[in-house]
Amino acid sequence: MFDGAQYAQWSRKIFEQMRAGGVEAVDVTVAYHENFRSTVNLLMEWNRLFRENADLIALAQNIDEMRAINASGRTAIFLALQNPSPIEAEIGLVEMLFRLGIRIMQLSYNNQSLLCSGWTEEHDSGLTLMGREVVNEMNRLGMVIDMSHAGERSTLDVIDYSARPVVISHANPYSWHPTRRNVSDEVLRRLARTGGLVGLSLYPRHMPAGSGTSLRGFCEMAARLADMIGAGRIGIGSDLCQDRPASSLHWMREGRWRFPNPTAESTDFPSPVSWFSSNLDFPNIAEGLRQIGFAEQEIAGIMGGNWVRFLSSAMQPDDRTLPRSVAVAAGQGLVDKLARVNG
Amino acid sequence: MFDGAQYAQWSRKIFEQMRAGGVEAVDVTVAYHENFRSTVNLLMEWNRLFRENADLIALAQNIDEMRAINASGRTAIFLALQNPSPIEAEIGLVEMLFRLGIRIMQLSYNNQSLLCSGWTEEHDSGLTLMGREVVNEMNRLGMVIDMSHAGERSTLDVIDYSARPVVISHANPYSWHPTRRNVSDEVLRRLARTGGLVGLSLYPRHMPAGSGTSLRGFCEMAARLADMIGAGRIGIGSDLCQDRPASSLHWMREGRWRFPNPTAESTDFPSPVSWFSSNLDFPNIAEGLRQIGFAEQEIAGIMGGNWVRFLSSAMQPDDRTLPRSVAVAAGQGLVDKLARVNG
């Protein structure tokens, strides 16, 4: 089991549930609206979590490391950003964050970034001039480009522009639940055609009946999507925000880019669906896919194999341009056998 | 004489030329791509310049202060930003920069900002969600909104959205020299209709014959523009970059949002036009306007009176919402007699 997006209130309990649920790897969100320095603080907090829970989890920077961590009976943690705010306006910070362990970065989160638009903006800037620079740099380093939370034109621009396949780590088809936070068929088709991957979301607001959405409905959606783009292009990005307080939701929504509205109704995370509320529940999804008629091999792919296959190539640095310092940090063994994935 | 935009290599020589050229006030650019902390460093550098040249210049935070500085035989310096990078992604930093003396801020510089698009982007995002928050906050504080270097849709969006008139501090009509860095007739008309101001630029790249553009051609353009929007809506924003090294040009163009292109031809500032190369040359422009047939009162307006009139209202804080701390900083005398300018 590989989960492409979680932002739980991290604790030993959660890590124990990862083990109990048979979760091999999780892409964890480190930052939403933080700048570089605050992100470094959060990475140091992750270092503490790795130290204190070294029997349960460990940092993974590539798939080989993930496999070694799994072989020792632990869950591999990949570090991800849901916003490019940590690179501020400095292209050089992409490599600095890569060296610090970040392997996946969204190019926007809901609203406009310096790189592209989020889905809540009225007009979509598409991929900006700085955005192209950052895509080039992420392609070079092997930092995975994640277009969750982006606008449609921005997503299509990046799929077209990037030399490497991109991922939409946690979203569902717009045709299943029509919010612009979800993804149009055109995007899904072009994503799949270029070797990309979509991680299906279990966050109630991304599903048609919210917290009341049925497992069967979810799996039927997955079956339709598999017919359209192939089961090999589908993974899971649960968007699990287990144990998070409402203040986390406000940070995700507002950061500090606007003042909180003192008269707004207080909001909180929605209740989870009955069949998925923690890392213990992934077997429910596998069983649901089985009952809807997916083959065992397809289920293994959706539950993790597809993510692993995608990342095996997506995270390999481009050895034609990679500075030696990074090549060494990424593991010289890997670098030696590399060929550029696309073009 | 009021100059709406300069980014000279500041020195005692330049300040002496301001005095010799009869310059009463200058909006100086403090920052282009700096973040908040680096901007504070630049403001401390300005504090040093104010200390060491206290016989020639002083900081002005409103028009009353400007008049007091002029009465003491000195040039008033207003502090401006050509990019919102100093507010990073934090709405609260707008007020912090206001308290530190910033009175004018562009919402973008050439490329995409978090607030809107610059003129070099392919697609114009218009005013973003964070952009609206920042416009509200600048309106409240009395920080002047400057749309130089922005995209067309972004500029129109801001003119429409802002409760207060906005300025385009340094640009020329597109109809005179068709680069998107200049401004369309539609923008100029809507700017003027809403009480805004355009500062005509003396930067060679904004003029049709570059460094060879004639004073007469410049003044003929001003005459046509006055026919279209009224002489009272026109000022000067010279964009004087006197004594700047080529490295300043690279910083302005690239900041750190992209890597420098090692194979690109080295670029430098263009030679100035023969009739304007320093603060000594403003009388040439006044004389050129006189020869083309402008009335003395119109010339006085274009050379400074229009800027002063515009800023007299644009810089007044909105006393309906202003926190007391800022009201005091802005001068309680002013605040007491305020009424909101628009709506």
Query: What CA–CA distance (Å, rounded) separates A29 from A40?
Result: 13
Asked whether the predicted pLDDT for residue A154 surpasses 60, the reply is yes
Point out the residue among B88, B115, B258 whose CB comes nearest to the CB of A35.
B88
The torsion angles phi and psi of B148, rounded to 5 degrees, stand at -60, 145
Q: What pLDDT is stored for residue A267 in this prediction? A: 84
Residues 51-90 of A with CB under 8 A from B: 85, 88-90
Please indicate, yes or no, if residue A45 is contained in any of the structural domains: yes
- Residue range(s) defining the domain that contains residue B41: 2-256+266-336
* Average pLDDT value for residue range A18-37: 97
Check CB contact of A155 with chain B, cutoff 8 Å: no
Please indicate, yes or no, if residue B40 is contained in any of the structural domains: yes
* Average pLDDT value for residue range B76-81: 98
Query: What CA–CA distance (Å, rounded) separates A325 from A321?
Result: 12
Check CB contact under 8 Å for A112 and B128.
yes
Point out the residue among A89, A125, A258 whose CB comes nearest to the CB of B125.
A125
Check CB contact under 8 Å for B123 and A257.
no
Point out the residue among B91, B131, B256 whose CB comes nearest to the CB of A90.
B256
Please indicate, yes or no, if residue B42 is contained in any of the structural domains: yes
* pLDDT tens, residue by residue, B186-211: 999 999 999 999 999 999 999 999 99
Check CB contact under 8 Å for B111 and A129.
yes
Which residues lie closer than 8 Å to A184 by C-beta, 6 or more apart? A152, A173, A174, A175
* Overall domain count for chain A: 1
Please indicate, yes or no, if residue A343 is contained in any of the structural domains: no
For residue B54, what is the domain's CATH number?
3.20.20.140
Q: What pLDDT is stored for residue B259 in this prediction? A: 92
Interface A–B counts its CB contacts (< 8 A) at 98
The structure tokens 């809901």 sit at A110
Please indicate, yes or no, if residue A191 is contained in any of the structural domains: yes
Mean model confidence pLDDT for chain A: 92
Please indicate, yes or no, if residue B261 is contained in any of the structural domains: no
Please indicate, yes or no, if residue A341 is contained in any of the structural domains: no
Check CB contact of B293 with chain A, cutoff 8 Å: no
Q: What pLDDT is stored for residue A318 in this prediction? A: 75
**B318 falls in which pLDDT band (50, 70, 90)?**
confident
Q: What is the interface pTM, i.e. ipTM, of the complex?
A: 0.85
Using an 8 Å CB-CB cutoff, list chain A residues near B257.
Answer: 89-91, 114, 129-130, 133
* pLDDT tens, residue by residue, A258-286: 998 877 777 899 999 999 999 999 999 99
Instruction: Kindly identify which residue of chain B lies nearest to residue A89, measuring between CA atoms.
Output: B257
Check CB contact of B237 with chain A, cutoff 8 Å: no
Check CB contact under 8 Å for A128 and B111.
yes
Using an 8 Å CB-CB cutoff, list chain A residues near B130.
Answer: 111-112, 257-258
Please indicate, yes or no, if residue B179 is contained in any of the structural domains: yes
Asked whether the predicted pLDDT for residue A316 surpasses 90, the reply is no
